[in-house]
Amino acid sequence: MSADLSFLPAVNAALNASATVLLAVGWRCIKRGNVTAHRRLMLTATAVSGLFLISYVTHYVWRASVEGGSHKLYHGIGLSKSLYYAILLSHLLLAMTVPFFAIRLVFLGLKNRISQHRRLARIGFPIWMYVSVTGLIIYVMLYHLNPTP
């Protein structure tokens, strides 16, 4: 018998919410010229996102082994179901790019290659924020607003 890891989606949502706040505050800091705070916040957001990824994969594997399926189904109908799957699809497609953006942005920032960092951040930051926010929306829809079949 394996441990019950059904609590991990809530942990993942908390990590996702934390990353969202760290990203937003880090963005605000750099807009105000506070490079030191920006760097600390973005490195922390990267670490929190890394923990999220580990926890997400752990839950995915656990769910597949215990329940025979790796995904929780959404039971909404009509517009609700269409909205859920539109958000989920865009989230999944963009989420696959976030680790690459994050790693590259951290590398460029730490190497003080600011113009390249800034240019890439104009693309990577909005994607990372979108993925963080839609991850929270998906969690709420799937675990709190999901109709019973």
Report CA torsion sign: 51, 55, 60, 65: positive
Can you give the pLDDT at residue 67? 83
CB atoms within 10 A of CB 85: 12
Contact partners, residue 41, CB within 8 Å, separation at least 6: 22, 23, 25, 26, 29
Q: How do the domains of the chain map onto residue ranges?
A: 8-143
Can you give the pLDDT at residue 30? 98
Can you give the pLDDT at residue 2? 75
Beta strands in the chain (DSSP E): none
Report the half-sphere exposure of 149 (CA within 13 A, side-chain side). Answer: 5
Can you give the pLDDT at residue 149? 78
Query: Taking a C-beta distance cutoff of 8 angstroms, is the pair 72, 50 a contact?
Result: no
Band of residue 148 on the pLDDT scale cut at 50, 70, 90: confident
Q: What's the one-letter identity of residue 102? A: A
pLDDT: which is higher, 147 or 82: 82
CB atoms within 10 A of CB 145: 13
Report CA torsion sign: 102, 103, 107, 110: positive
Whether 24 has a pLDDT exceeding 90, the answer reads: yes
Can you give the pLDDT at residue 1? 52
Structure confidence by residue, pLDDT tens digits, 40-80: 999 999 999 999 999 999 999 999 998 887 788 999 999 99
Q: Which fold has domain 8-143?
A: Four Helix Bundle (Hemerythrin (Met), subunit A) (1.20.120)
